[in-house]
Amino acid sequence: MPKYSVRHPEHHLTHRIGWLRAAVLGANDGIVSTASLVIGVAAAHATHANILLTGIAGLVAGAMSMAAGEYVSVHSQSDTENADLARERAELLDDPVAEQRELTGIYVKRGLERNLAEQVAAQLMEHDPLAAHARDELGISDMTAAKPVQAALSSAASFALGAALPLAVVALAPIGALMPAVIAASLLFLGLLGVVAAKIGGANALVGAARVIFWGALAMGVTAAVGALFGAVV
How does pLDDT run across 100-151, given as a tens digit for each residue? 888 888 888 888 888 898 888 888 888 888 888 888 877 776 665 667 888 7
33 in a domain, yes or no?
yes
Q: Are 66 and 155 in contact (CB under 8 A)?
A: yes
Rounded to whole angstroms, the Cα distance separating 40 from 32 reads 12
Domains of the chain: total: 1
77 in a domain, yes or no?
yes
Rounded to whole angstroms, the Cα distance separating 80 from 138 reads 11
Which residues does 125 contact at the CB level (< 8 Å), separation at least 6? 96, 99, 100, 103, 132
132 in a domain, yes or no?
no
Confidence grade of residue 18 (pLDDT, cut at 50, 70, 90): low
Q: Identify the H or E element spanning 161.
A: helix 148-172
51 in a domain, yes or no?
yes
Over its C-alpha atoms, the chain yields an Rg (Å, rounded) of: 25
207 in a domain, yes or no?
yes
Between 198 and 33, where is the model more confident?
33
112 in a domain, yes or no?
no
Q: What is the pTM of this model?
A: 0.66
Range(s) of the domain holding residue 220: 15-86+147-233
pLDDT recorded at residue 201: 66
pLDDT recorded at residue 22: 67
37 in a domain, yes or no?
yes
pLDDT recorded at residue 231: 63
168 in a domain, yes or no?
yes
Range of lowest pLDDT (50-54, 101-105, 142-146, 206-210): 142-146
Q: Are 48 and 145 in contact (CB under 8 A)?
A: no
Is residue 4 over pLDDT 90? no
* Average pLDDT of span 23-33: 84
